[in-house]
Amino acid sequence: MAEAVCKRLQDPGGRTLRVFCLRISQKPENLFCARFFLCHPGDPVKNALAKSSGLAGKDFLFIPAAGWLVLSAVKKALFLSGGWDGHQPESFVSLFSGELQKAGFVTDVERSLEVLADTARIAAYDLIFPCWTMGSLTKEQSEGLLAAVRGGVGLGGIHGGMGDAFRGNLDFEWMVGGHFVGHPHVGDYTVRIRDFASTITCGLPGTFPYTSEQYYMMCDPAVHVLADTEYVYEGRSCAMPLAWVRPWGSGRVFYCSLGHDPAEFEKFPEALRLAVRGILWAAHSL
């Protein structure tokens, strides 16, 4: 008798697969007697896409030890490109979309926020990357994005594209874990890694230099800080969180305040590594 279950598994290449599948007998004659489903976060049964047993063997991953025959799911990321042009959203989306494609992702780019109201569509993504400084969300768009992340879709972004997006939307700011206040210092500063045990910071030096806008943030004290910087302003100094993670329902959230200009990631490769690994973590790929 087949048992229908929603599980999160890893394929031999290390990719995490979110699947709705059937646990069946390992006997070869029983392998093609069932139907298989690709799981959508939030409501896997209602949103499942049925696949018939007539698909070629390459579409399936058989895990003999577990007795599972699984429909392999390619990771997908949605990039939102827009908002204030001064933050070069098209250039940043091209950069990070390319980095995720190197990791095996299929990436889509939307230049309208209307997609966020399409709850069924955005729930199918593994990651949403907002690159949309300022701007605003409608009630339906805001609720759609919040529900997608709570349902398991990752949220990851950098600098003003996520840390200064949708000003005044308190629900979004709470989910992100902080919001941009200002950058009274523009110039050289030092990035300090604070969590050396994280898979995101693995391999990074304890400190590395950076030159750009130094963001002063309002931060939720509940976020888990990966890296910070000393902020000196008007004769006072404080440790300012610079990169952090947090859970949001079943979803993962990563934010990094670095990245005013794409050229900075070429000049400071440690910054690019931190941002890319954080985004992969948010997508359950690290």
Residue 76's Cα: distance from chain center in Å? Answer: 10
DSSP 247: E
pLDDT of 74:
74
End-to-end, the C-alpha distance of the chain in Å comes to 35
- What is the distance between the alpha carbons of residues 142 and 229, in angstroms, rounded to a whole number? 31
Sketch the domain layout of the chain as residue ranges.
3-71, 76-282
- What is the distance between the alpha carbons of residues 88 and 260, in angstroms, rounded to a whole number? 9
Q: Are 250 and 218 in contact (CB under 8 A)?
A: no
Quickly tell me which residue has 């800080």 as its tokens: 225
Angle between helices 89-102 and 269-282 in degrees, nearest 10:
70
Residue ranges of the chain with per-residue pLDDT less than 50: 1-7, 11-12, 19-72
Q: Provide the CATH topology of domain 76-282.
A: Rossmann fold (3.40.50)
- What is the distance between the alpha carbons of residues 71 and 126, in angstroms, rounded to a whole number? 16
Whole-model pTM: value is: 0.77
Give me 104's structure tokens. Answer: 């095996």
